[in-house]
Amino acid sequence: MMKQNLIYACFLLSLSCSNAFAQTQAFDIDASHSKVGFTANLAGLVDVDGTFPDFEGTILYDEQDVSKLSVSALIKVATIHTGELHRDEHLQKEEFFDAQKYPNIEFRSNHVKKSGKKWLMSGTLKMKGVEKQIEFPIQKVHGLTKDPWDNQRITFTAELPIKRSDFGIGAADFWGSSIKNEVIIKLTISGRIFNTDLMSVFEEGKPGKILYDLIVEKGIETGIQQMEEIKKTNPDFF
């Protein structure tokens, strides 16, 4: 439901753009094909990689003018994943992210500008209740492109260092002092506008939805066989 509401909000936002922003489109961030990751160094000996798998957001994008790019995103802290359960639980505690009190990391861009051959995005990063202005280079992987389902897509990558101490993440205990203060954030962000013509195929009661449910419940072969039987008794429906 949250995802549907987000898509609907993006749609309304795209309709509300003025003539001056007629080329600006609203994309939802496709978390299943994006990545919010980080690398932290332990005791100067080994890098530890992690991700936040659960996030959502909106991208405003103009294919003709990258300077109009705008991003708003929200990341669920409790989904932090480093490949080690005990470490993940520790990182959610008060001395680190304090996920119970501060469940979300938020970012909202406010400006994009050209710097040499690069584009720089600036914005407000809010983490553990602390807001900081940050600036970092972004790279376009591809502009407006259609995927195999005719969804419109854009993809950007970015990499930036932040200091844990700026946000009060990590106390001066053994683990807090053993992790390097500078952490590298690594982003791959894919924006998507759904092809609503294809989405309608999967509405409740439509053939696509019936077939999907049969396959989930019965398996591929049995689902297709039962679908064929339904077609024989009600060919007009299909």
Tokens for 205, please give them.
């009661």
Report the pLDDT value the prediction gives residue 20, as an integer from 0 to 100: 40
Angle between helices 207-218 and 220-233 (to 10 degrees): 140
Query: Angle at the Cα of 155 (from 154 to 156), degrees rounded to 5?
Result: 135
Share of the chain above pLDDT 90, in %: 61
Residue type, 44: G
Report the pLDDT value the prediction gives residue 174, as an integer from 0 to 100: 62
Asked if the model's pLDDT at residue 55 lies above 50, the reply is yes
**185-231 pLDDT, tens per residue?**
999 999 999 886 665 666 677 777 777 777 777 777 787 888 788 88
**149-193 pLDDT, tens per residue?**
889 999 999 999 999 999 999 866 666 678 899 999 999 999 999
Cβ atoms of residues 56 and 6 within 8 Å: yes
